[in-house]
Amino acid sequence: QAKAAGRNTLRFFDPQMQAVASARAALDARLREAIRDEQFSLHYQAQVCGLGADGAEQGWRITGVEALLRWLDPLHGPVSPAVFIPLAEETGLILPLGAWVLEAACEQLASWAKEPDLAHLTVAVNVSARQFHQPDFVSQVLTVLARTGANPQRLKLELTESILVANVEDIISKMTALKAQGVGFSLDDFGTGYSSLSYLKRLPLDQLKIDQSFIRDLLVDANDAVIAKMVIALAGSLGLSVIAEGVETEAQRDFLAAQGCHAYQGYLFGRPLPVAEFEQLALRQA
């Protein structure tokens, strides 16, 4: 009987699915090693504010950075976060990884605070839903801030709409506790999730971040242009700031500026860079 069941199982065995599963298992094992061997670093991408009236901007200045996790696998080279973050979220490895990112970003913040030309920078850190939903998330963040001496006013946490699967009261109380210490919140990839506007209104956010998928074809796809305009208007009426991610061209920036969005992040202003290179960029600007 058991033997027959075994044979049945084998008959339905799908080699392609098996290949995917073992590739995932191999990646998971490498990721565990990478955490142990500290193969990670942070890159920093400028967030800028355009200078000037509506329409064409008269230059820009760097107001802060987004910290972006980088994994340099000694055998396979750089691995994209788009590949390893979703896996780390599934397996729970995002918890130690996310804690490392927060610590490293706060250390950077504390070290910039001592440099007159860099002390004004804010640092935005991506926080995955699973990380945010840990019962002790608030005390983890406060502990790291205290240990590193980073100014909470300069720390911004980027959440995505995926956090909204959980109890909204719990989300609000965590955000409120951190905001009381000065930590800011930005809603990342806005427009790609499923959050209802009534939830959005209740969350104590500071900023909406227009997803880059709406910016890419801003000037050729009328739907994207309408969505971008709507998000900008929505942010305005909710009393939130708005930043556009993935801005690559002056034409995109000018369109956004004309709609009243003056904060940008994208290759037009700078790619994500290792810390020394980012500092050079920021000091040239200053």
Which parts of this chain interact with ligand C2E (CB under 6 A)? 45, 68-69, 80-82, 85, 98, 101, 126, 128, 158, 188-189, 212, 245-248, 265-267, 272
Among 107, 223, 191, residue whose Cα is nearest residue 154: 107
126 touches Mg ion (CB under 5 A): yes
Task: Among 188, 203, 208, 231, indicate the residue that binds Mg ion (CB under 5 A).
Answer: 188
Beta strands 263-265 and 241-245: pairing type?
A: parallel
Q: CB-wise, 158 or 161, nearer to ligand C2E?
A: 158
Q: Cβ 266 to Mg ion, closest distance in Å?
A: 11
Beta strands 241-245 and 77-79: pairing type?
A: unpaired
Q: CA–CA separation, 207 vs 236, rounded Å?
A: 10
Residue holding tokens 């640092």?
123
Tokens of 100: 């490392």
Tokens of 41: 């670093």
Q: Cβ 66 to Mg ion, closest distance in Å?
A: 6
Site for Mg ion in 130-169 (CB under 5 A): 158
Q: CA–CA separation, 170 vs 222, rounded Å?
A: 38
Residue holding tokens 């720390």?
155
From the list Mg ion, ligand C2E, none, which binds 82 (C-beta under 5 to 8 Å, kind-based)?
Answer: ligand C2E
Interhelix angle 15-37/94-112, rounded to 10 degrees, is 40
Stretch 38-77: interaction string toward Mg ion, x if CB under 5 A:
----------------------------------------
From the list Mg ion, ligand C2E, none, which binds 266 (C-beta under 5 to 8 Å, kind-based)?
Answer: ligand C2E
Residue 171 CA, distance from chain mean position: 18
Q: CB-wise, 115 or 130, nearer to ligand C2E?
A: 130
- Binding-site size for Mg ion (CB under 5 A) equals 5
- Angular region, 182: left φ>0, alpha ψ -120 to 50, beta rest: left
3-state class of 143 per DSSP? Answer: helix
Q: CB-wise, 57 or 211, nearer to Mg ion?
A: 211
Q: CB-wise, 30 or 209, nearer to ligand C2E?
A: 209
Q: CB-wise, 30 or 164, nearer to Mg ion?
A: 164
Task: Among 57, 161, 189, 224, indicate the residue that binds Mg ion (CB under 5 A).
Answer: 189
Beta-carbon contacts of residue 240 (< 8 Å; ≥ 6 apart): 205, 206, 207, 208
Of the candidate spans 74-82, 183-191, 196-204, 249-257, the one that interacts with Mg ion by CB under 5 A turns out to be 183-191
Q: CB-wise, 30 or 209, nearer to Mg ion?
A: 209
From the list ligand C2E, Mg ion, none, which binds 55 (C-beta under 5 to 8 Å, kind-based)?
Answer: none
Among 47, 45, 44, residue whose Cα is nearest residue 209: 47
From the list ligand C2E, Mg ion, none, which binds 267 (C-beta under 5 to 8 Å, kind-based)?
Answer: ligand C2E
Among 153, 228, 230, residue whose Cα is nearest residue 184: 153
What residues make contact with Mg ion under the rule CB under 5 A? 126, 158, 188-189, 245
